[in-house]
Structure 1
Amino acid sequence: MDETLARAADRGNEVDETPARAGDRGNEADEVPAAAGDRGSEVDETLARAAWSRLVEPGDTVAGALVHTLGAREALDWVRWAAAPGRAEAAVETLVAREDESLAPLRRRLRSALARWEPRLAGLEPGREIDHVHRLGGRFLRPGAPGWPLGLDDLGAAAPLGLWQRGVPDLGSLLTRSVALVGARASTAYGERVAVELAEGLAARGVCVVSGGAYGIDAAAHRGALAGGGVTVALLAGGVDRAYPAGNAELLERLLDGGGAVLSEVPPGGVPSRSRFLMRNRLIAAVSRATVVVEAAWRSGALSTAHHAASLLRPLGAVPGPVTSVASAGCHRLLREGAAVCVTDAAEVLELVGPLGAPPDERPEEARPHDGLDWVADRLLDALSLRSAATVDTLARRAGLSPADVRGALGTLELAGLAELRATGWRRTNPVT
C-alpha cells in the first residue's frame, strides 16, 4: 500500500479507534472523524482524489456528493473509519446530522456505497500509481488545477474525481476549441470516409478533435485530425498506460507525438468494461464544445454520447447516411426526433458550434439567369417560353402584369440577353435553373 495512505489506514481502519473529536463529546463511539489534517494525516487532496479514482467506479454520484461536501481527503478518511464492521449505520446517521442534512437524500445510498467501496480500501496505492504515470510522461489532474477541462464541472456529482493524463499539459486551453466526432466501431467505408473528412477539415481550422480511441469511427476521426495537421484527444475507458484496443496502440502514440492527449478517469492498469465505456461517453460530451455522431446504428453506444451532449445543452449534430443503411439508423433517429442538426461537412459543424471557430466557408453558388432582376422582370421571365414566341398582351395575361410593365421589363431582359424579339413575338433565350 502507498506509504502515505498506509499511515492513514493504520489510524482510520482500527475498529475501536475513538475519532479525534470524540473527546469533545464524551468519546461517543459513533462520532464522525475530524478532518484528516486534524488527525495528522499526510494524505493531501491530490493523493486522496487519486485514491478515490481507484476506490469507486466512474460516475459514482454518491462519491461525488460526499467529496463535494467534505473534500476528498476528509471523505476518504471518513470512509476508512465508517467501513469498519458494525459502524456504517451509526456513522452515516452522525455524518448526515453533522452536515446539517445536506447529505440526507443520500442516507440509504451512503450505507450501500460503503459496502461496495470497502473491498477496495486495502489496495489503494495512489502515490505509486502517480509515479507510474509520471514515468510515462503523464500526470494526475484534479479539479481546479491548471489545465482542468472546465466543461467536466457541468456533470455535477457525476463529474470525475480526477483525470489521468498523458500528453499536452495545457489541456484546458486545447479543449476550448474542440468538437467530438463519435460513431460505431462496426463502421462502413462511407462512415469512415466522412469521419476522416470532417476531422481533417476541423483540424485545418484549428479545432481539436475529440473521440474515444476505439476502432471504426473513433479511429477514423483521430487519423483525419492528424492528417489535417491538427491535434486530437482520446478519452479511454481503461487506464492511460494500456492501449485499448491494442490494434490502435500505434495510432494513440502518433496522437501523443502530434501534440494531443490521452485521458481517462480510470487509474493506470484499469481494464475497460461495457459500463466504463458507457460512462466514458459522458466525458467526451462534457469536454467538447459540440458533438457530432458520424455513423451509428439504432442501438449504438455512440447514441449515449449524443444523449449526454443533449442533456448538457451542448450542440449536437448527426451525419445522414443512405436510407437503406442500418449503420446510420441511429443518426436518422436523432435527426427525425429533432435532437440533432444535420451536418455534412466541417463548415456546417463550425456553423453548428457557433463562435468556436472562424465563420463558415462561403459556399460557391452557380449564377442563375434571374439573379439581380427586379420582381417584374423576374415574373415576366417565368412567363416567357423557350419554344414559342408570344405577344405583349399574351405575356401580360400570362404573367399577371400590365402591358406597360411588360414592355419595360422586356427591354431589361433583352439587354441581359434573356429575351429576344421574333417575327411572332417575344421568347426566352436562356433556360432558368
Structure 2
Amino acid sequence: MQANTLLHLSLIQNAGPATIEKLVQALSLEQLDKLYYFSAKDLQALTGISSTLAHCIVSGLQDKKLLEQELTLLERYNVSCTTLYDPGYPALLKNIHLPPVVLYTQGRPLDYTKCVALVGSRKADRYGITIINKLIPELVAAGYTVVSGGALGIDTLAHQATLACAGSTVAVLGSGLLKPYPAANARLFNAIAEQNGTVVSSFSLQCSALAGNFPARNRIIAGLSSACIVIQAAEKSGALITARYALEQGREVGAVPGAIDNPLSAGCHKIISEGAALIASTQDILNLVSDSLPLRSVSLMQPIIKPLQQTIPQTPQEHILLYTQTPISFDELLIKTGLASTDLQDLLFNLQLDGLLEQNFMGLWKKS
C-alpha cells in the first residue's frame, strides 16, 4: 500500500521531502509501489536524481527490515503515522513548501482548527512565567490550541499552563517519539498525549535529537499555526528562527516586549522593530489571527498621499518608491502598480541593489 511505501521512503537516508515529491509526481501516488521493482538507472531516468541518491533509494527499498521494524514499533507503542497524502494530514501544514511526508503522533489526531505557536527562550525567568500565565488561560478560553517545541523554558511553561487550563496543546519534537528530547520532559509529553493533546515528530521513532533536526521541527511548529508569538528571546535565539519560518509560510508573527536591560528581550525587540506585531495582551493575539483585518496591517497601511505634495511619478520605479514610503507587502505592490509578478520582482531586486529599497523582517518593502 502507498502509505507504507511513503513511510519506507521516509526512512531512507537522504530521501527527503523534495526527492519523495519527485517520485510521486513521476509515478503518481497510485503507482508508487512499483518503485520496489525499479533499478537505480530507472530512477535516474524517471526523476533526474543523482546516481548516488538513486542507488541509496534502491538499496533502502530492498531493506525490508527497515520498514518492518518501524511498523512493529508503531503498533507496539500505539503511535499513529499520517502521510502527506492522507485526509488527516493538517491542512495548514500541508500548505507550506515541502511539508514533511510523514508525521508520527501520540495522543489526539492533528485535527485542530485554531492553533497559535508560543515559543521562546530555554532560560525563561519570572517575567516569562508571568506572561505565560497571563496569555494562556485566555487563549484556551477562546478555543485556541497552543503549539510549541517541548523544550525547556518557555515551551515547557506553555505546555504546562495549557494543560492546567484543561486546554489542548501540541508538542513538536526534534527527535523520534521513542527517544523524546529533552528526556526531562518525558512525563510532560505523556501528560500531553493523555490529556487531549498531541506529541508529534517527523523523525523516525528511534531517531536521536540531532542538531540538524531542529530547523525541520521549527518549520512544523510554524506550519501548524496561524500565528507565531515569541515570548522572551535573546538576539540569537532559536525562537527567532521559528518566527522567520512562520513569516516565510505567510503566517502572522508577534512578540512580547520586555525590559530593555534584559538580554531575553533583545530578540523580541529586534523583530518588533522590523515589523512583528507588538503583543501586550491576549486580545492582541486574537486580533492578529482573526478573520478581520489585523491591527498590525492597519498601522502599516499606505496613508493617503496628497497629490499637490508629491511629484507625479512617471516610471514603474518611481511608482514603487512612492508606494514604499511606509512598509508595504509584495501583494499590495502588485495591486497598486498593476505590474506582472516577475516584473515587480525584478524591479524590487534592482532597487534593493541600488540601495533605494529594503525589506524588513516581516517581508515588507520600504524606501531606504
Q: Normalising to structure 1: TM-score of the pair?
A: 0.62
1:51 aligns with 2:8: yes
Deviation at 1:350, TM superposition (A): 0.9
Query: What CA deviation, in whole Å up to 9, does each residue of 1:257-279 have, x standing for no partner?
Result: 21101111111111111111111
1:287 aligns with 2:224: yes
How many residue pairs align between the two structures?
Answer: 291
2:104 maps to a residue whose letter is: W
C-alpha separation between the residues in 1 aligned to 2:57 and 2:234?
Answer: 36
Determine the structure 2 residue equivalent to 1:300.
237
1:348 aligns with 2:284: yes
C-alpha separation between the residues in 1 aligned to 2:25 and 2:246?
Answer: 23
SS in 2 for 1:132: helix
1:147 maps to a residue whose letter is: G
C-alpha separation between the residues in 2 aligned to 1:125 and 1:118?
Answer: 13
2:284 maps to a residue whose letter is: E
CA contact (8 A) 1:236 1:280 kept: yes
C-alpha separation between the residues in 1 aligned to 2:68 and 2:2?
Answer: 12
Alignment of 1:32-111 (within 5 A): 44-56=1-13, 60-71=17-28, 74=31, 78=35, 81-83=38-40, 87=41, 91-92=43-44, 94-96=45-47, 107=48, 110-111=50-51
Deviation at 1:68, TM superposition (A): 3.9
C-alpha separation between the residues in 1 aligned to 2:14 and 2:54?
Answer: 13
Query: What CA deviation, in whole Å up to 9, does each residue of 1:308-358 have, x standing for no partner?
Result: 1111111111111211122222111111111x10112222111111139xx
1:131 aligns with 2:72: yes
1:345 maps to a residue whose letter is: S
Residue of structure 1 aligned with 2:142, choices 188, 192, 205 = 205
C-alpha separation between the residues in 1 aligned to 2:43 and 2:78?
Answer: 41
1:81 maps to a residue whose letter is: F
1:287 maps to a residue whose letter is: L
Deviation at 1:134, TM superposition (A): 2.9
Deviation at 1:112, TM superposition (A): 4.9
Segment of structure 1 superposing worse, 145-154 or 301-310? 145-154
C-alpha separation between the residues in 1 aligned to 2:260 and 2:208?
Answer: 37
Deviation at 1:193, TM superposition (A): 2.9
C-alpha separation between the residues in 2 aligned to 1:328 and 1:132?
Answer: 43
Deviation at 1:137, TM superposition (A): 2.7
2:80 maps to a residue whose letter is: R
C-alpha separation between the residues in 1 aligned to 2:133 and 2:36?
Answer: 47
SS in 2 for 1:55: coil
Determine the structure 2 residue equivalent to 1:188.
125
Residue of structure 2 aligned with 1:273, choices 188, 207, 210 = 210
SS in 1 for 2:11: helix
Deviation at 1:127, TM superposition (A): 3.9
C-alpha separation between the residues in 1 aligned to 2:252 and 2:148?
Answer: 16
Residue of structure 2 aligned with 1:240, choices 177, 187, 199 = 177
CA contact (8 A) 1:290 1:314 kept: yes
CA contact (8 A) 2:15 2:57 kept: no
Query: What CA deviation, in whole Å up to 9, does each residue of 1:382-406 have, x standing for no partner?
Result: xxxxxxxxxxxxxxxxxxxxxxxxx
C-alpha separation between the residues in 1 aligned to 2:133 and 2:25?
Answer: 40
CA contact (8 A) 1:208 1:233 kept: yes
SS in 1 for 2:150: coil
2:208 maps to a residue whose letter is: V
Determine the structure 1 residue equivalent to 2:107.
167
1:213 maps to a residue whose letter is: G
C-alpha separation between the residues in 1 aligned to 2:158 and 2:69?
Answer: 34
C-alpha separation between the residues in 1 aligned to 2:132 and 2:243?
Answer: 16
Deviation at 1:234, TM superposition (A): 0.8
Deviation at 1:124, TM superposition (A): 5.1
2:290 maps to a residue whose letter is: G
Q: Normalising to structure 2: TM-score of the pair?
A: 0.72
Deviation at 1:182, TM superposition (A): 0.9
CA contact (8 A) 1:49 1:72 kept: no
CA contact (8 A) 2:43 2:54 kept: no
In the alignment, structure 1 segments of 5+ residues that lack a partner are 1-43, 97-106, 357-433
Q: CA separation of 1:317/1:163 partners in 2, compared to 1, >3 Å: closer, same or farther? A: same
C-alpha separation between the residues in 1 aligned to 2:258 and 2:196?
Answer: 32
Query: What CA deviation, in whole Å up to 9, does each residue of 1:403-430 have, x standing for no partner?
Result: xxxxxxxxxxxxxxxxxxxxxxxxxxxx
In the alignment, structure 2 segments of 5+ residues that lack a partner are 293-368
Identity %: 33
C-alpha separation between the residues in 2 aligned to 1:220 and 1:242?
Answer: 21
CA contact (8 A) 1:200 1:226 kept: no
Residue of structure 2 aligned with 1:114, choices 54, 61, 65 = 54
SS in 1 for 2:95: helix
TM superposition outliers: structure 1 runs of 4+ over 6 Å: none
CA contact (8 A) 1:290 1:315 kept: yes
1:343 maps to a residue whose letter is: I
C-alpha separation between the residues in 2 aligned to 1:162 and 1:288?
Answer: 18
CA-based RMSD of the aligned residues comes to: 2.5
CA contact (8 A) 1:300 1:330 kept: yes
